[in-house]
A and B are shown apart, each in its own frame.
Chain A
Amino acid sequence: MVQQIVFIILALVIALCSVLAVTSKRVIRAATYLLFVLLATSGLFLMLNYHFLFAVQVMVYAGGIMVLFIMAIFLTHQPGKRVATKSSWKVTSSALLAVAGLVLCGVIIVRNLSCAFRVVTEHEISMHTIGQALLGTEKYQFLLPFEAISLLLLACIIGAIMIARKDRGVKEIEKVENEETENSETWEKSL
Chain B
Amino acid sequence: MGEIIVNTAGAIPLTAYLIVGLIMFFAGIYGFFARKNLIMILISVELVLNAVDINFAAFNRYLFPDQMEGMFYALFVIAIAACETAVAIAIIINVYRKFGNTEVDNIQQMKE
**A interface residues, Cβ below 8 angstroms from B:** 1, 3-4, 7, 10-11, 14-15, 18-19, 21-23, 27, 30-31, 34, 37-38, 41, 44-45, 47-50, 52-53, 56-57, 60-61, 64-65, 68-69, 71-73, 75-77, 83-86, 90-91, 93-95, 97-99, 101-102, 105-106, 109-110, 113, 115-122, 125, 129-130, 133-134, 140, 142, 145, 149, 152-153, 156-157, 159-161, 163-164, 166
Contact = CB atoms under 8 A, between A and B. Distances in A.
Given A110-B15, A119-B5, A30 B29 contact: no
A30 B1 CA distance: 41
A31 B78 contact: no
B107 interface: no
Given A61-B46, A97-B30, 14 more contacts: A11-B19, A30-B40, A34-B43, A34-B46, A37-B24, A61-B50, A61-B82, A72-B39, A77-B102, A95-B30, A105-B22, A117-B4, A117-B62, A159-B90
Given A18-B27, A48-B61, A163 B7 contact: no
A86 B101 CA distance: 15
Contacts of A145: 72, 76
Q: Is the interface of A mostly helix, strand, loop or mixed?
A: helix
B57 A45 contact: yes
B31 A21 contact: yes
Contact of A156 (B16, B24, B87): B87
Given A44-B20, A160-B90, A97 B33 contact: yes
Contacts of B81: 61, 65
A84 to B, nearest CB: 6
A22 B65 CA distance: 34
- Give chain B's interface residue range (CB within 8 Å of chain A): 35 or more
B72 A122 contact: no
Most buried by B among A22, A61, A153: A22
A22 B47 CA distance: 9
Contacts of A85: 34-36
22 contacts: A3-B12, A15-B23, A18-B24, A19-B23, A22-B47, A44-B20, A56-B78, A64-B82, A65-B46, A65-B81, A68-B89, A72-B89, A85-B34, A98-B26, A98-B33, A115-B15, A116-B5, A118-B2, A122-B1, A122-B2, A145-B76, A159-B87
